[in-house]
């Protein structure tokens, strides 16, 4: 009689690696008293285009977080939704979607806002919207997709206009819009009834 053993698997390489980098970044920021975030992991509005780090920060801001609570909130949702999305769309496609979303958010923040952008919230919104597409069948639009898009995007539009806080509602919107764009493009044939 053979005993079956459970083995630990690295089931979602993009999501798990991303989470590990974010954890390392938060720990490094703690050890440097916030200096590493200020130098490497904040995408500044109206940034100096002559500074080589500006181009690194256009992507790297998604790894930094404004503290452990910010990190834990984002990574919990990322680990909950991300593996489903990665399995459905594939690791390479997910890397492209996450990279493009980070770049879009970074560029738009640099050119249109004067605040710093930090954290993976936009990518979490990307994953939430993409997850709603996973149950899509040809000729059907899942009601959950409509509800998630309306609730999340509606809340961010309202908060961006009516609420004064330190949250980049624009970054969340960028992730949500990216999720709709990538999900629609990926499932284009399913929209053809």
Under the banding of pLDDT at 50, 70 and 90, the label for residue 67 is very high
pLDDT of 146 strictly over 80: yes
Contacts of 145 (CB under 8 A, 6+ apart): 129, 132, 133, 136, 183
Report the number of distinct structural domains present in the chain. Answer: 1
Residue 89 domain flag: yes
Return phi, psi of residue 117, to 5°. Answer: -120, 125
pLDDT at position 163 is 62
**Half-sphere exposure of residue 27: CA atoms within 13 angstroms, side-chain side:** 6
Cα-based torsion angle of the residue sequence 53, 55, 61, 63 in order, rounded to the nearest 10 degrees = -90
pLDDT of 116 strictly over 80: yes
What is the average pLDDT value for the chain, to the nearest integer?
90
DSSP per-residue letters across 180-193: HHHHHHHTHHHH--
Q: What is the CATH number of the domain that holds 168?
A: 1.20.1540.10
Q: Region 36-43: what's the mean pLDDT?
A: 96
- CB contact at 8 A, 119 and 66: yes
Q: By CB neighbour count within 10 A (0-12 exposed, 13-18 middle, 19+ buried), where does 151 fall?
A: exposed
| Alpha-carbon dihedral sign for residues 155, 80, 23, 123 | negative
Q: Is 53 left (phi over 0), alpha (psi -120 to 50) or beta?
A: alpha
Residue 109 domain flag: yes
Residue 8 domain flag: no
Residue 81 domain flag: yes
Residue 23 domain flag: yes
Q: Region 166-178: what's the mean pLDDT?
A: 81
**Residue 154: which domain range?**
13-191
Residue 1 domain flag: no
């Amino acid at each position: 009689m053979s005993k079956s053993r459970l083995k630990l698997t690295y089931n979602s390489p993009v999501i798990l690696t991303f989470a590990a980098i974010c954890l390392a970044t938060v720990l490094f920021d703690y050890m440097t008293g916030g200096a590493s975030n200020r130098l490497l992991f904040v995408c500044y509005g109206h940034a100096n285009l002559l500074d080589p780090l500006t181009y690194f920060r256009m992507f790297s801001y998604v790894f930094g977080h404004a503290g452990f609570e910010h990190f834990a909130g984002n990574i919990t949702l990322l680990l909950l939704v991300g593996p489903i999305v990665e399995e459905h769309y594939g690791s390479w496609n997910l890397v492209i979607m996450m990279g493009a979303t980070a770049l879009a958010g970074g560029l738009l923040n640099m050119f249109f806002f004067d605040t710093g952008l930090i954290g993976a919230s936009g990518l979490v919104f990307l994953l939430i919207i993409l997850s709603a597409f996973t149950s899509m069948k040809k000729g059907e639009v899942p009601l959950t997709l409509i509800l998630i898009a309306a609730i999340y995007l509606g809340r961010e539009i309202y908060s961006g206009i009516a609420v004064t806080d330190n949250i980049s509602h624009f970054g969340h919107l960028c992730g949500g819009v990216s999720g709709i764009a990538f999900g629609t493009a990926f499932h284009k044939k399913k929209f053809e009834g």
